[in-house]
Structure 1
Amino acid sequence: MSRRCDLLDTGPMSGHNVSHAKNRTNRRFNVNLCNVTLPSETLGQKYKMRISAATLRTVDFKGGLDGFLMGTKNHKLTDKAKKIKKQIVKAKADLEAANA
């Protein structure tokens, strides 16, 4: 399983370990991935995802999965997240059509 975030496709970065003598050796900065289940209020479903801790904080700040997906541009999202966002947009449109 790859070390990538399921929402924003954040992956590991590379850099250097730098010793006191300024010797540089290559290293890898892995993403802090968390296994979470995020509910969608609009769809009434729960989605199991493996997302980074930074993304999880952003999801909480934006008011949940629906608010996060609606406020994020499509080119930043993964294919899985785009499918969920498309379902949310369709469900909201159907709800508005039923109310009108």
Structure 2
Amino acid sequence: MARRCAITGKGVQSGNNVSHANNKTRRRYLPNLQVASFTSDLLGRLVRLRLSTNAIRTIEHNGGIDAYLLSARSTGLDAEILRLKKAVVKAAAEKAAA
């Protein structure tokens, strides 16, 4: 499993540890990824995603996973999220038609 957020695309960055003697050794800065569960009202199921804390806050700010996916642009989203978005858009269209 990649250390990358499915929504924001945040991944591992690299840099240096710099000692008091100014010795530099390479290090990795890992993103703060969490497994988050969201309830999709349109799909009627629980959605589990591995997201950065920033992405979790963004989804909650937009009113849940359904509202976020309906308003989000498709560019820059992970393939898993694009599949989920397509299913949510289809369910929203069916709900509107009924």
Per the shorter chain, which TM-score range? Answer: 0.7 to 0.9
Point out where structure 2 has 5 or more consecutive residues left out of the alignment.
none
1:7–1:78 Cα contact (<8 Å) kept: yes
- In structure 2, what is the equivalent of residue 8 of structure 1? 8
Cα deviation code 1:23-70 (max 9, x no counterpart): 433211101111121111111111111111111111111111112222
- In structure 2, what is the equivalent of residue 79 of structure 1? 79
- In structure 2, what is the equivalent of residue 26 of structure 1? 26
Q: Is the counterpart of residue 95 in structure 1 residue 95 in structure 2?
A: yes
Point out where structure 1 has 5 or more consecutive residues left out of the alignment.
none
User: What TM-score results when the alignment is normalised by the length of structure 2?
Assistant: 0.85
CA distance in 2, matches of 1:77, 1:47: 16
2:11 counterpart SS class: coil
1:16–1:25 Cα contact (<8 Å) kept: yes
User: What TM-score results when the alignment is normalised by the length of structure 1?
Assistant: 0.83
1:7–1:80 Cα contact (<8 Å) kept: no
CA distance in 2, matches of 1:5, 1:45: 21
Range with bigger deviation, 53-62 or 12-21: 12-21
Equivalent residues, number: 98
CA distance in 1, matches of 2:20, 2:62: 42
Identity of aligned residues (%): 39
- In structure 2, what is the equivalent of residue 65 of structure 1? 65
